[in-house]
């Protein structure tokens, strides 16, 4: 396909969830999928339906709820995987089955223990089988950049003959240089018989920091779909970052001679939502959506920007939806103004959700003179990720100091009952966590604890993220988040959020 339209294939919910320590529940996956729909991606890879019951349910729910993008499920070239993908995608408006098989000699010999000829045959047979269930079939040759080009040629040509509508070139371990990936893209587009009738896609990992560069250079030479993830999440060092791909195409259309249909003004809020749900914070120097992306420290730069922003900015913060400092809200602001601001920031809430979020906004406004857009994003993201709670915090009290043993008393509610426990600890937060442990009867392993100021100033909203394991032998991690102008309260809320989620997931 030779038009200038590039499809954005988002795999945040599949490859992105493979980020170490990330574990999304069904509600969180659905919320991300709905936001990706608002962002305007072309394809959402909702999961790997054949991998687990949880993935199957996620694909099934997203397929029945999100209607505009293509919804894809990954599948090995195995009949049971294909059948699982087809069942999960049964209610999708635009379903796609995404098949893959290894292509490099290393993977074929060490992992699958088959020959390249057998792999080609298995790929073609699987595509024909999948076409019984779905017309839109994508085929990926895994570890393609370390494969023999003639093997790739045979694999892709047989895939096209069998009925694949998209063929995907993968740099599975981020091995290729930009020159190598450029040349491989050009060579395959030149030699593959039938390639003009399908969409040529690329999937790049970031092990050597080249995922975005390799993806964009492939677009420059004819690729018309890019697989990527929000914030560059993914295995090991991650995938090509969606926001960088989109803004690269948007800003340098003159060079790449291509465009995508993504709504760039939804990038910032999507990025923040994904960060909130996964617990993977965004580095301040992250291109496009990092906190420093549109800040200028140097006097020379500041002077230039004051004269004309284009002197030191190749895109505007407004282009990607970075909140402005305009129209701050306060405790006298009404529900209508709050809802309007939430919509402006890209959040679509039902009336019942607006009521709950508005009450939290009023509570926050009682503590702060003004509530900024950054505060609202943190509050609304928290609203969106809430799960049914077993324990609700009511109050807490602390006694601490450099001459006192830190002691915490925490009061919670469960099923209408009030439970109070006290504990001592190495510090006030440790004491509070130990009191919560006594209440819940759990002693989870606290793997990580992080706090950041959402905004500037002494009354900044603090956001705490914790990650726990239910026991020291448990492999599954659970994320918890809490936000408050009081960092102790935010910490307790985050810890209880993690425990509630852990208990619900085990139920």
Residues 364-383 have a mean pLDDT of 74
- CA angle (501, 506, 507) in 5-degree steps: 100
Could you tell me the pLDDT band of residue 2, with boundaries at 50, 70 and 90?
A: low
**Residue 293 token pair:** 């992306």
Could you tell me the pLDDT band of residue 388, with boundaries at 50, 70 and 90?
A: low
Q: Does domain 7-278 have CATH number 3.20.20.70?
A: yes
First to last CA, the chain: 49
Strand pairing category for 392-401 and 404-414: antiparallel
- What is the C-alpha separation between 377 and 82, in angstroms, rounded? 39
pLDDT for 330 equals 77
**Does 19 score more than 70 pLDDT?**
yes
Please tell me which residue, 28 or 57, carries the higher pLDDT value. 57
Strand pairing category for 166-171 and 137-142: parallel
Least confident interval from 141-145, 235-239, 469-473: 469-473
Residues 48-67 have a mean pLDDT of 97
Question: What are the angstrom distances between the C-alpha of 439 and each of 1, 40, 432, 435, 478?
Answer: 61, 45, 11, 6, 19
**The total number of residues written for the chain in this structure:** 507
Q: Which helix (H) or strand (E) holds 480?
A: strand 477-484
Domain boundaries, the chain: 7-278, 292-322, 324-368, 392-506
Residue whose entry in the numeric block shows the structure tokens 């195995």: 78
Q: Residue 118 CA to chain centroid, in angstroms? A: 35
% of the chain with per-residue pLDDT over 70? 92
- What is the C-alpha separation between 486 and 463, in angstroms, rounded? 10
Residues 17-31 have a mean pLDDT of 89
pLDDT for 25 equals 86
Could you tell me the pLDDT band of residue 304, with boundaries at 50, 70 and 90?
A: low
User: 19 with 235: CB under 8 angstroms?
Assistant: yes
Could you tell me the pLDDT band of residue 327, with boundaries at 50, 70 and 90?
A: low
- What is the C-alpha separation between 89 and 214, in angstroms, rounded? 31
- pLDDT winner (highest mean) among 116-120, 454-458, 480-484: 116-120
User: 385 with 277: CB under 8 angstroms?
Assistant: yes
pLDDT for 27 equals 87
Phi, psi at 400, each rounded to 5°: -155, 160
Please tell me which residue, 131 or 501, carries the higher pLDDT value. 131
pLDDT for 328 equals 64
The superfamily (CATH) of domain 392-506 is Alpha-isopropylmalate synthase LeuA, regulatory domain (3.30.160.270)
Dihedral angle over CA of 167, 172, 176, 177, nearest 10: 100
**Does 296 score more than 60 pLDDT?**
no
Evaluate whether 7-278 and 392-506 have a shared fold.
no
Dihedral angle over CA of 385, 363, 284, 320, nearest 10: 70
HSE of 25 in the Cβ direction (CA atoms, 13 Å)?
A: 18
pLDDT for 422 equals 97
DSSP state of 110: I
Q: How much is the mean pLDDT over the chain?
A: 90
User: 238 with 262: CB under 8 angstroms?
Assistant: no
pLDDT for 66 equals 97
Phi, psi at 483, each rounded to 5°: -135, 140
pLDDT for 238 equals 97
pLDDT for 306 equals 56
**Does 335 score more than 90 pLDDT?**
no
User: 440 with 391: CB under 8 angstroms?
Assistant: yes
Q: pTM of the prediction?
A: 0.86
Could you tell me the pLDDT band of residue 472, with boundaries at 50, 70 and 90?
A: confident
């Amino acid at each position: 396909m030779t038009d200038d339209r590039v499809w954005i294939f988002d795999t945040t919910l599949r490859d992105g969830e493979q980020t170490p320590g990330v574990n999304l529940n069904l509600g969180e996956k659905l919320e991300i999928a709905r936001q990706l729909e608002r962002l305007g991606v072309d394809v959402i890879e909702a999961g790997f339906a054949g991998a687990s019951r949880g993935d199957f349910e996620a694909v099934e729910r997203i397929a029945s709820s999100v209607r505009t993008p293509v919804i894809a499920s990954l599948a090995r070239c195995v009949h049971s995987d294909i059948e699982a993908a087809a069942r999960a995608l049964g209610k999708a408006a635009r379903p796609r089955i995404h098949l893959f098989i290894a292509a490099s000699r290393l993977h074929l010999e060490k992992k699958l223990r088959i020959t390249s000829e057998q792999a080609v045959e298995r790929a073609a047979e699987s595509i024909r089988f999948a076409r019984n269930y779905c017309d839109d079939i994508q085929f990926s040759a895994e570890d393609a950049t370390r494969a023999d080009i003639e093997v790739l040629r045979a694999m892709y040509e047989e895939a096209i003959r069998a009925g694949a509508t998209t063929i995907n070139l993968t740099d599975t371990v981020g091995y290729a240089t930009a020159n190598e990936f450029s040349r491989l893209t050009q060579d395959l587009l030149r030699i593959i018989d039938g390639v003009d009738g399908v969409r040529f896609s690329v999937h790049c990992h970031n092990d050597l920091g080249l995922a975005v560069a390799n993806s964009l250079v492939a677009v420059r030479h004819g690729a018309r779909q890019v697989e990527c993830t929000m914030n560059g999440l993914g295995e090991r060092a991650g995938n090509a970052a969606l926001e960088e791909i989109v803004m690269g195409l948007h800003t340098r259309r003159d060079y790449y001679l291509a465009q995508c249909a993504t709504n760039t003004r939804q990038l910032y809020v999507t990025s923040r939502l994904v960060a909130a749900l996964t617990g993977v914070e965004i580095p301040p120097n992250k291109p496009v959506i990092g906190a420093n992306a549109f800040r200028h420290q140097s006097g020379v730069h500041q002077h230039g920007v004051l004269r004309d922003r284009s002197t030191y900015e190749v895109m505007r913060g407004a282009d990607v939806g970075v909140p402005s400092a305009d129209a701050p809200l306060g405790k006298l602001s009404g529900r209508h103004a709050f809802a309007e601001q939430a919509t402006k920031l890209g959040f679509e809430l039902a009336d019942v959700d607006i009521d709950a979020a508005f009450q939290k906004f009023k509570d926050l406004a009682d503590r702060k003179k003004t509530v900024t857009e950054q505060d609202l994003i943190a509050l609304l993201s928290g609203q969106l990720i809430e799960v049914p709670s077993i324990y609700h915090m009511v109050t807490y009290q602390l006694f601490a100091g450099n001459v006192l043993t830190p002691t915490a008393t925490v009061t919670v509610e469960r099923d209408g009952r009030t439970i109070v426990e006290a504990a001592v600890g190495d510090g006030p937060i440790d004491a509070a966590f130990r009191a919560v442990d006594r209440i819940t009867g759990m002693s989870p392993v606290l793997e990580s604890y992080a706090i950041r100021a959402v905004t500037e100033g002494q009354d900044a909203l603090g956001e705490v993220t914790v990650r726990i394991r239910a026991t020291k032998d448990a492999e599954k991690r659970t994320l918890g988040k809490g936000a408050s102008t009081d960092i102790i309260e935010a910490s307790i809320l985050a810890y209880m959020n993690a425990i509630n989620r852990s208990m619900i997931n085990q139920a």
